[in-house]
Structure 1
Amino acid sequence: MTSTAVNTRVRAAAGAAATGLAAAGALHVVWTRSPWPLDTPADLARVAVGVEETELPSAPLTLAVAGLLGTAGALVTAAARPESRWGRAKLVRAGVWTATGVLAARGAGGLAVSGLQLGKSTPEFRHWDLRLYSPICLTLAGLMGYVAGRTRHA
């Protein structure tokens, strides 16, 4: 495979990962003000977090998650351009590997915990965790790991 084809695939993977991370981050920002796409905060708590409404994370904590998702998107975008100063930076590379590990752990852990019905999360959350949340985390981890692995010697 030519270097151009590798670069195109790496940048496409980084773009897909960054888009997914940005969308997840934007949704977390929305959740600080609205339960959208659900109807009520109680629905959001039960379906998206797996807790009762009184246990929903605070707005600052939710914004922190949004910020981390956005940062991960910026890091994978930078890493996909190893010819740039940022793409070669050790901090960027470490950040991409760290985010990859966190998302992989979240995805695999979610499948295990929800699949085995461990913990006290709601049935609605377990349903969506098995079908959407955990697979998305694993997909994003795979895309980021691909970028990090294909650019490690650049």
Structure 2
Amino acid sequence: MALLALVTALVLVAVGGLHVVWAFSPWPLRSREEFASRVVGVPPERLPSPGLTFAVAGLLLVAGYLVVARAGLVGTPGPAWLTVAGTGGVAAVLLLRGAGGLVASARKDTPFARLDLRVYSPLCLALAAATGLVAALA
């Protein structure tokens, strides 16, 4: 269980790191327009603000911490039930994002929808399953 928790947390932290980069840059894409279309699925003027992007990054870092804390790999302040509830909450949010993305993107033929069906939603569902396992079994 420790290895699953560690790998899951590392992926969550890596995705959080990507969000930090995205607050400043459209990397790995060349322009904000391409980034808006392929990564976020909105017109460039509707891209989330850097503040919101940092908030998502922070939540992903907290999610990674909760996963390793639930597995007992790092210490936790407060009662143990907080890591159980927190990790379960992370799993639920990732499950909703993954399932919701599959449903919403199945009806569209856009660059974002294609990536959502192939990459973003499956990744969220895999992370939801791994986080759920850690929450339930650690």
TM range (shorter): over 0.9
Superimposed CA distance per residue, residues 91-140 of structure 1 (whole angstroms, 9 cap, x where no aligned partner)? 111110001000000001001110123xxxx7000010000000000011
CA shift in 2, pair 1:85/1:24, >3 Å: closer
Show the counterpart of 1:141: 128
Please, which of 42, 47, 53 is the counterpart of residue 38 of structure 2? 47
Counterpart-to-counterpart distance in 2, 1:98 and 1:146: 12
Counterpart-to-counterpart distance in 2, 1:79 and 1:50: 34
Shift of 1:83: 10
Show the counterpart of 2:91: 100
Q: Supply the AA of the counterpart residue of 2:39.
A: A
Shift of 1:88: 6.1
Asked whether the equivalents of residues 79 and 148 of structure 1 are also in contact (C-alpha less than 8 Å), the reply is yes
Q: Supply the AA of the counterpart residue of 1:74.
A: Y
Counterpart-to-counterpart distance in 1, 2:38 and 2:112: 4
Alignment root-mean-square deviation, CA: 1.8
Percentage of identical aligned residues: 46
Show the counterpart of 1:111: 102
How many residue pairs get aligned? The number is 138
Asked whether the equivalents of residues 78 and 86 of structure 1 are also in contact (C-alpha less than 8 Å), the reply is no
Show the counterpart of 2:22: 31
Counterpart-to-counterpart distance in 2, 1:89 and 1:41: 43
2:119 aligned with 1:132: yes
Asked whether the equivalents of residues 79 and 87 of structure 1 are also in contact (C-alpha less than 8 Å), the reply is no
Counterpart-to-counterpart distance in 1, 2:78 and 2:136: 13
Q: Supply the AA of the counterpart residue of 1:16.
A: V
Listed as ranges, the gaps of 5+ residues in structure 2 are: none
Counterpart-to-counterpart distance in 2, 1:83 and 1:56: 35
Q: Supply the AA of the counterpart residue of 2:115.
A: W
Moved more, 64-73 or 13-22: 13-22
Counterpart-to-counterpart distance in 2, 1:48 and 1:62: 13
Q: Supply the AA of the counterpart residue of 2:110.
A: P
Superimposed CA distance per residue, residues 20-53 of structure 1 (whole angstroms, 9 cap, x where no aligned partner)? 1011000000001110011111111100000000
